[in-house]
Every structure is written in structure tokens, then in C-alpha cells.
Structure 1
Amino acid sequence: MNKKLLAGAGIAFTLLFSSFSQAFAGEPTNGERKKVDNVAHRGATAYAPENTIAAFDLAVNMKADYIEIDVQRSKDGELVLIHDTTVDRTTDGTGKVGDLTFEQLRSLDAGSWKGEQFAGEKIPTFDEILDRYRGKVGILVELKAPELYPGMEEQVAAAIKKRNLDKPRNNKIIIQSFNFESMKKMDKLLPRVPIGVLTSNRAHTTPEALQQFATYADWFNPSYGIVTEELVNQVHSLGMKIGSWTVRSQEAADFLFEMKVDAIITDYPDYVDPRKK
């Protein structure tokens, strides 16, 4: 794992290292594209309701490298998959996720808003997703608003350890969040599992900020609007990888290919690889 290897280096060394890595990196030639991980954002959400089995199954069928999932917690302590902190947008219910019991959440229709053919899709549990997809596809686990759910990190870590997914040979689990303190905690709980930090804030792209992230994170995952070639080089020079989100156009995918990111997080897996239709 790359975290901490270069975290103590000075900024000047970082920039120097970046220059050398650019000069000697084995870049694709003759128009070839660098291999980029194709991450299905909340599943193949352009075509199926987000964070549902339907969307994840479709992503697997489209041969995505990873599915990205959003984890929250019910009032009675069940880890569930939903993006918003309320159920209003993606189900036929109303209210905050954390105010509803698992039984109440499970009774909701999480598919009809996307189309009649998805009527009856349920909000999945974290355990269900780990059991259904481990070994079939990589899983990028986002802890959504962990500050609302004290102890969530320990629950997630326990579920991963129970299935022996915290071992290096099973390096297809990544955990990420916008909450940096939560990710520091996850790094301590699961030191062999790659950790990612999410941001759309340019203030987090300074050399000083990146060096701090590199002390505990393996992935720096910014919105594509703040990605530059210089940023990619700096992230790589610190031993981290970079995955960018959320691609909803072919132009955005092509831009990120040009920037030489390591992963593209997309609603459209076929925009990252046209063969994945």
C-alpha cells in the first residue's frame, strides 16, 4: 500500500519527483489509452435506479471494474444503501434515513421513479451487497454523512472483516468519503484496505493538503471540474491514485482519459469503454 511512503517529503521534492515520474513513466503509445478503472456510480445509474440490485447487476453485466455504493444507517442500526440523507428523491416515501427503521426503509419502492419496469426494487443492505458481489466486481464503498451515524466506521469494518475482505489479496474493496476524519478512522480500523478522500474543493488540491491526505489515503478522488494534469501528477508523485466523478457525457470521459486518471466514476459505463453496452 502506498500511503505514508512519501508523506514526509517536502513540497520541493514532490514537484521534482513529479517531473521525473513524467519523464520516465511508461505511457501508452500509438494512440493507446491507459488502463483506467471503470467505476459504475451507484451502479449503472443512467439505465437503472441508483443504489439498487438492478443497477448493480447491470453494471456487472456491462463489465464495470467496480460498483460504487453509498452506505448509511437506519434508525435501528442496519447499514443500508442510499445516497441522499432523506428517502424523498429515490423512493415513494418521505423522511430522513436515520429516522426510519429498517422495516420502514425496506417497505419503500426504490425503483418506480426510474421506470415502471423497476417497480418494487428495494433499498439493499450493505451485507447483501458484500455477499452478492464480492469476487464478481470491485466495490467502492462511500460512507455517506458518517457524522450522522456514530460508530458507523466500526460497523462497516466489522462487516468487511467478517468476510475476509480486509486482506491484501482481496484488493477490490476501497472505502471513501467526503468526511476526512472518518477516513482517518477507517485507515486505523482497516489498515490494509485502500482509503479514498472525496472533494470538489480546490483548496484541497494544494501541495500541502495533498501531502496530508497521503498520510492515510491511497486515493484522491476529486470532481472532474477541478482535475488538471498538474493535479494528477502531484497525486501520483505522492504515491496515491486519482479517481474522478461523476461522468455523464462522453466529453467528460475523454477529458479524464487525457488527464491520465486511474479511475473514472460514471453513470454510463459505456462512456468509459464503448464495448460495455
Structure 2
Amino acid sequence: MTFTRPYFLLLLGLLILGSAHAQPAISAHRGSSLVAPENTLATFRTALKMPVGYLEIDVRTTKDGHLVILHDGLLDRTTTGTGPVQNLTLAEVKQLSAGKGFGEKFNGERVPTLNEVCQLLRDWNKTHTQKVNLYVDCKAVLPKPLVDELAAFDLLTDAVFYGSDAFLESLKQVSPTAKLMPSLRNADELPGKMQQLQPYAFDVRWASLTPELVQQIHAHGIRVFSDALGFFENAEQYLKAARLGVDVIQTDYVLRVSQALKEMK
């Protein structure tokens, strides 16, 4: 029997992805931020004890060029500081509490550096059989220092990078084998982004998930990540994503997702 090229790609993609993922992996959004302050070592330590495949982190750069983990460009919401983090040196950032809103127990938490998070994850992976990888949201960082820090801790190969298409393209120039994950709003964007970036995965909007779109992406051997945040954080939605074949569910409720998937299994 002779297969046409599109059919062959479809078959190959489904075989690869179908065998690799019995059910979705879970990504801890900014760590387990419901039980500890987001993007802190405290929350990452907590999340590592949960059934997660990825820790999602947001990387920004201080005035003196250090890479830190902070979602917002401004310090105001999550720390005792004010203004843009890019206007402060690392020493100044480290004077601030990153436990804002979580009571006295977390007053001593500080904005972590990427280096500190990498050390934590490297040490965890050395002593646990179930490896956890980084989901890196590249907020404000240059590709080379980001790549260099992850490579120093042997975390580059399995890290997944989310960011603007322009950033991901520049990252690919520095690290051709980096696992890129651009956003995808609809199927119309698929051909152009595949040609430009050759992505490892797509971050697909939850509301855009359909059987046809997931199958189309998988047919090219590309994975599907999606954020079950806000309105979609419930068991019905988690199970829907699992049935669609979503590869990674990102969530603020790791244990809730895990329990729903167990019941499905």
C-alpha cells in the first residue's frame, strides 16, 4: 500500500503522541500559588511534592542583569516593593518580601533568582525517579543568559519555552534544539507558525480546543499545552481536555486536576 505524504504524517504523529501520553501531564502555574506565594521557592517546593510534570516560571531581568522569577513587570502586587523590577538591582530586589498577602509565615520569602530555582529543581530530579521540567514564560529576558543558566544545571534540553514569536525565533538562533512553544489562537495560524518556528508544542487557548484542532496539531508530531485557568478550573473541563488528547494542562489547582484524571482512569 502506498501512503500519501499528508496521510503518512498524520499516522506518524498520532502514533508518536498516542504512545507517549496516556493522559495529560500537569503544569503548576507559577508554582502551587494557592498554598504559598506565587513564583517563590516556597511554592515551588510545595509543587514538587505534587504530581506535576512542569513548574511554570516567569523570567525577568534586574537592572544589573540578573534573572529573577516574577510574573508582573511591577513589584507592587506580589512584593513589598513598588515600580518596575528592571529599575532595581538584584541586591535591592532581595530586600523585599515576596510573601505579600500570605501572612507572617511567608514574610521571609524573597523573589528567587533563576539560578536558585534551577538548583532546587536539579537537586529534586537527582533524588526522584519522576523528573520535573521547567515551563519557562520568557517575560523580559535575553536568550543567551537564559540558555546559559539552564544549560549549567542540565535543565535546558527538557525545558519548554513560551514567549512571543519574535523572542522564540531569537531563542532558536541561540539554541537550535530548544523546545519552543508559541501561542496558537486558531487553526489558521498553524501553517505559518510551524514553518517559522518548528515548535515542540503549541499553547492553545482553552476556549479554542476542538478535536479537529488537537488532531491537526498532533498529526505534525507537535504537542498541545493549554491553560485551565479561571473559568475552566473544574473537573468537567479537565476531563474534556484529557479526552481531546491535550498533552499538558496548566493549572492553579494541581491536586484537583490530578484527582479528576485519576477518576477518569
- TM tier, smaller: 0.7 to 0.9
Q: Is the 8 A contact 1:205 1:231 kept in 2?
A: no
Check 1:13–1:78 CA distance in 2 against 1; reply closer, same or farther (3 A cut).
Answer: same
Look up the match of 2:161.
175
Give, in angstroms, the shift of residue 210 of structure 1. Answer: 4.4
Give, in angstroms, the shift of residue 238 of structure 1. Answer: 1.8
SS at match of 1:244: strand
Look up the match of 1:34.
22
Q: Alpha-carbon deviations, 1:42-98, whole Å to 9, x = none? A: 101222211011111111011311101000001111100000111111112110111
**For residues 30-69 of structure 1, what are the structure 2 equivalents within 5 Å?**
34-69=22-57
User: TM-score with structure 2 length normalisation?
Assistant: 0.82
Give, in angstroms, the shift of residue 193 of structure 1. Answer: 2.9
The amino acid of 1:241's aligned partner reads: R
SS at match of 2:203: strand
Q: Is the 8 A contact 1:67 1:138 kept in 2?
A: yes
Q: Alpha-carbon deviations, 1:91-142, whole Å to 9, x = none? A: 1211011112212211111113134332221100001111111252211111
Look up the match of 1:3.
none
Separation (CA, whole Å) in 2 of partners of 1:130 and 1:22: 32
Q: Give unpaired runs (5+ residues) of structure 2.
A: 126-131
Separation (CA, whole Å) in 2 of partners of 1:59 and 1:188: 32
Question: Moved runs in structure 1, 4+ residues, more than 4 A?
Answer: 16-28
Check 1:238–1:54 CA distance in 2 against 1; reply closer, same or farther (3 A cut).
Answer: same
The amino acid of 1:212's aligned partner reads: Q
The amino acid of 2:106's aligned partner reads: F
**Match for residue 189 of structure 2 among 206, 211, 225:** 206
**Match for residue 234 of structure 2 among 237, 243, 249:** 249
Separation (CA, whole Å) in 2 of partners of 1:95 and 1:23: 48
Check 1:111–1:24 CA distance in 2 against 1; reply closer, same or farther (3 A cut).
Answer: closer
Look up the match of 2:129.
none
RMSD (Å) for aligned C-alpha atoms: 2.7
SS at match of 1:49: coil
Q: Give unpaired runs (5+ residues) of structure 1.
A: 1-11
Check 1:228–1:109 CA distance in 2 against 1; reply closer, same or farther (3 A cut).
Answer: same
Q: Is the 8 A contact 1:34 1:257 kept in 2?
A: no
Q: Is the 8 A contact 1:111 1:118 kept in 2?
A: yes
Separation (CA, whole Å) in 2 of partners of 1:140 and 1:78: 19
User: TM-score with structure 1 length normalisation?
Assistant: 0.79
Check 1:122–1:211 CA distance in 2 against 1; reply closer, same or farther (3 A cut).
Answer: same
Separation (CA, whole Å) in 2 of partners of 1:127 and 1:26: 32
More deviation, 38-47/70-79: 38-47
Look up the match of 1:4.
none
Q: Alpha-carbon deviations, 1:169-205, whole Å to 9, x = none? A: xx4322221x111111222222233121135x34x75
Q: Is the 8 A contact 1:141 1:173 kept in 2?
A: yes
The amino acid of 1:260's aligned partner reads: G
**Match for residue 147 of structure 2 among 157, 160, 167:** 157
Q: Is the 8 A contact 1:69 1:142 kept in 2?
A: yes
Look up the match of 1:221.
203
Check 1:19–1:60 CA distance in 2 against 1; reply closer, same or farther (3 A cut).
Answer: same
**Match for residue 95 of structure 2 among 99, 107, 110:** 107
